[in-house]
Amino acid sequence: MNEHFKSIICKLIQPQKGKGSFFAFDLSEHLDREHTDNTDVGQALNSAFLVALAGSMHPASERAKRFLALFSETPEWTEVASFYLKGIDLVHQEIESMCTHDPGFTKRLDTLSQWLAHNENWFETEETAERMWSVFFPEATGIRAHEKERVQAFRAKRTVTITKLNTTPITDPARQILFTSNVLLTTPTASTSPDGLPFSHYIRKRLGEISREPQFHWYDHPIQVGVVPEKNEVLYGLRALDVALEFERTRGNIPPQGKTVCVLSVSVTHQGLQEIAKKYLEEELARSASLKNIDIYVFTEADTQRMIDEILAPAAAYYLHCDNPKELLSVFGVDGEYGRHYSFLKAIAPFWSIFLQPEIRATFKIDLDQVFPQRELVEQTGASALEHFKTPLWGAQGLDSNEQSVELGMIAGALVNEADIGKSLFTPDVPFPNRALSPDELIFYSALPQALSTEAEMLTRYVGDNLDGQRSCIQRIHVTGGTNGILVDSLRRYRPFTPSFIGRAEDQAYILSTLLRQDTQLAYVHEAGLIMRHDKKAFAQEAIESAYLGKLVGDYIRILYFSAYARALTNDVAKLKDVLDPFTGCFISRIPITIVYLRLGLKTASLFAEGKKEQGLAFIRIGAQRIITALDFMGGENSKLKDQYEKERLSWNLYYDTLSAIENGIADGHQFALDLRKKVQSIIKACAIGFG
């Protein structure tokens, strides 16, 4: 049955004319012509991969394999060529395995092969796309031309019938909610001299030294120390939050002298930045912002390590007799992949409530490129941002559409793009796409299920008997990194976390760790109208563009990791996917390696075809390096990924058990616990930002 797959690839990459054409040239031509520079070689290697993937169906297949083998022996190209050679074998093995174990897949593959065999069918672009998706991306099938029906059906699937509203809802959000966000910091640009920056002598001196350190973490678009204030995401987001809180004060939601606590995790690309991060932020805020409604606390990896060394590890050893607490508790930190700081920003809330402010009952994360548009919120929803948190749905009990008992201990809002807010708050930030497809989108087209999920989940309004927000509501699976929160009680009972190897969609991954409980399940309640304005393009377009390739590769790795993570969680992946589909679940693929290699190959071919040669070359170099590493991490029955997940589950259980033990010790007046509380207060005081 692999021959059907090979024939599909051959048809996909062959030159065609007319409406259905993707490539107006024969990719095999790249193998023969003279390669004058590295971009030519890169294009030829990618073309050779696609041709070789078509196997005997393409006349140049063997020549393409020899081409790849030749370059795999050259030092400069061995990584890329070997990556492609490995991919040919892995893809064919994966497809063969699927055909062996799933007759339905084999039938769809056969049907698609026969359809593409007739050239005239390529002009039926929508039908061709549906047939392609039926094999490679079934989550997108049947949506186009049926959007309204699919939205209604999907809302019915996400409906929860309330059995008990929260009898003690949040009543004072400014005081009871710990707001959190993440800051990504990196060194100044290579062309920027630290001596010319408007910081203290100490920071300028250290920046010069730190810039010579090896980089040990990479992020999509970190803030460069020294960037002009109008392009500094920290300043932008904190000012906006301060303005939103001042608005709340005018409505009587915050007392005259009251302040809201905001915890910032600071993830850095160079280790030395941990040392100066707090002072840098203090100086930047003192010079460029006047914040009167927020108490800000900053946590770097060094700070979280101190919390482990001086508080958590000693308590775990003393109360729980744990032999290696420091190693297990190292999961509590902020540097590394995005999943790490995301879990920290949730887990800090019970720590805060036990040691510092017992009134803290929840945490809510915002992204610093997002703003509470208070005037529009009040005009169009009847409530300000903080007033939305008072809903008794947050913490309610209910039954989902499958009669599964759920606890709505988490809350999720939505986003509206700055360019669209003039139309309405309820304008989807991801609308249904209406454009021609690129070749790689025939293989994977997440924009379509994302648009469906956005419309059906995120923009639901409670306006009728079917969904009145009292007897029924929507539960959310699809959430964004900002605009979501969790009650401390729910957090401590269910202990959700995002594994630290998750580098993209850490927000989507968070709930996966709790979905397989046999009893009551933790769920997000959709708070209709809790909408933040997304301003990223308004002030950081350059950062978005510069991060494009890395983000795209991150999306590919997301498919590999989500697919492997689902298999680590359960043997019944289909059942898990049924809960998560269409959007979150679409990254859990039955043929993830095939999808990733085809997406990369076709996207690269498109970049070169569009004349973006330097971008195409950078893409395959980044892709080869990162995807090979990911394949090694997630491969095998007992993969490193599975081991890491299981270790982190134990680690987070230890964290919450340790907190409970300390809490009991404090309640009993135990001196050891009371001494720990004093140490915590000292540590947290050192993390406080002083400015203005």
CA 616 – CA 40 distance, rounded (Å): 10
Same domain assignment for residues 110 and 163: no
CA 275 – CA 296 distance, rounded (Å): 17
Q: Which tokens sit at 523?
A: 């769920």
Same domain assignment for residues 567 and 431: yes
79: in domain = yes
Same domain assignment for residues 214 and 93: no
Q: What is the DSSP string of 12-59?
A: HHS---STT-S-SS-GGGGGTS---SHHHHHHHHHHHHHHHHTGGGST
Question: Nearest-CA neighbor of 56 among 45, 47, 64?
Answer: 64
Rounded to 10°, the helix 313-320/640-667 angle is 70
Question: Nearest-CA neighbor of 53 among 79, 86, 78?
Answer: 86
Question: How many domains in the chain?
Answer: 2
CA triple 58-607-550, angle to 5 deg: 115
Q: What tens digit of pLDDT does each residue of 35-75 get?
A: 889 999 999 999 999 999 999 989 999 999 999 999 999 99
Q: What tens digit of pLDDT does each residue of 303-341 get?
A: 999 999 999 999 999 999 999 899 999 999 999 999 999
pLDDT of residue 21: 54
Q: What tens digit of pLDDT does each residue of 590-647 get?
A: 999 999 999 999 999 999 999 999 999 999 999 999 999 999 999 988 899 999 999 9
Q: What residues contact residue 573 under an 8 Å CB cut-off, 6+ apart?
A: 566, 567, 588
The beta-carbon contacts of 234-237 under 8 Å, at least 24 apart in sequence, are 234/183, 234/264, 234/281, 234/284, 234/285, 234/368, 235/284, 235/285, 235/288, 235/289, 236/368, 236/369, 236/535, 236/539, 237/181, 237/366, 237/367, 237/368, 237/369, 237/370, 237/371
Same domain assignment for residues 124 and 165: no
Q: What is the DSSP string of 587-617?
A: GS-SSHHHHHHHHHHHHHHHHHHTT-HHHHH
pLDDT of residue 413: 97
274: in domain = yes
By DSSP bridging, strand 484-487 and strand 397-399 are unpaired
Same domain assignment for residues 295 and 427: yes
**E strand spans, 459-520:** 472-476, 484-487
CA 293 – CA 201 distance, rounded (Å): 30
CA 518 – CA 265 distance, rounded (Å): 34
Which one of 76, 106, 136 terminates a domain?
136
**What is the 3-state secondary structure of 227-238?**
CCHHHCHHHHHH
Cα 403 to chain centroid distance, Å, stands at 29
Q: What tens digit of pLDDT does each residue of 117-171 get?
A: 988 888 888 999 999 999 999 999 999 999 999 999 999 999 999 999 999 999 9
Q: What tens digit of pLDDT does each residue of 90-104 get?
A: 999 999 999 999 999
CA 56 – CA 65 distance, rounded (Å): 11
User: How much is the average pLDDT of 515-532?
Assistant: 94
Same domain assignment for residues 121 and 215: no
pLDDT of residue 264: 98
**What is the 3-state secondary structure of 277-305?**
HHHHHHHHHHHHCCCCCEEEEEECHHHHH
Where do we find the tokens 């698609």?
112
pLDDT of residue 35: 81
For 534, phi and psi rounded to 5 degrees? -95, 115
Same domain assignment for residues 657 and 567: yes
CA 222 – CA 293 distance, rounded (Å): 26
Q: Which tokens sit at 112?
A: 């698609």
User: How much is the average pLDDT of 14-28?
Assistant: 64
* 173 band by pLDDT with thresholds 50, 70 and 90: very high
pLDDT of residue 127: 94
Same domain assignment for residues 196 and 109: no
606: in domain = no
pLDDT of residue 467: 81
144: in domain = no
Q: CB 607: neighbour CB atoms within 10 A?
A: 22
Same domain assignment for residues 67 and 184: no
pLDDT of residue 20: 52
Same domain assignment for residues 168 and 111: no
Instruction: Specify which residues 299 forms β-bridges with.
Output: 265
620: in domain = no
Question: Nearest-CA neighbor of 233 among 105, 371, 373?
Answer: 371
User: How much is the average pLDDT of 428-434?
Assistant: 95
Q: Which residue has the higher pLDDT, 482 or 265?
A: 265
Q: Which tokens sit at 365?
A: 């994360």
CA 161 – CA 176 distance, rounded (Å): 27
Contact 393/524 with Cβ under 8 angstroms?
A: no
Q: pTM value?
A: 0.95
CA 631 – CA 636 distance, rounded (Å): 9
Same domain assignment for residues 82 and 210: no
CA 163 – CA 635 distance, rounded (Å): 43
150: in domain = no
Q: What residues contact residue 625 under an 8 Å CB cut-off, 6+ apart?
A: 79
* 288 band by pLDDT with thresholds 50, 70 and 90: confident
272: in domain = yes
pLDDT of residue 476: 97
CA 84 – CA 69 distance, rounded (Å): 10
Question: Nearest-CA neighbor of 663 among 312, 344, 329, 330?
Answer: 312
For 414, phi and psi rounded to 5 degrees? -140, 180
With pLDDT > 90 as the criterion, what percentage of the chain qualifies? 85
Q: What tens digit of pLDDT does each residue of 441-497 get?
A: 999 999 999 999 999 999 999 986 678 888 999 999 999 989 999 999 999 999 999
Its domain, for residue 390, covers: 157-590+636-687
User: How much is the average pLDDT of 202-210?
Assistant: 95
Where do we find the tokens 């059907």?
4
pLDDT at 543 over 80: no
pLDDT of residue 16: 66
595: in domain = no
Same domain assignment for residues 73 and 32: yes
Q: Give the DSSP H/E element, type plus range, for residue 273.
A: helix 273-288
* 220 band by pLDDT with thresholds 50, 70 and 90: confident
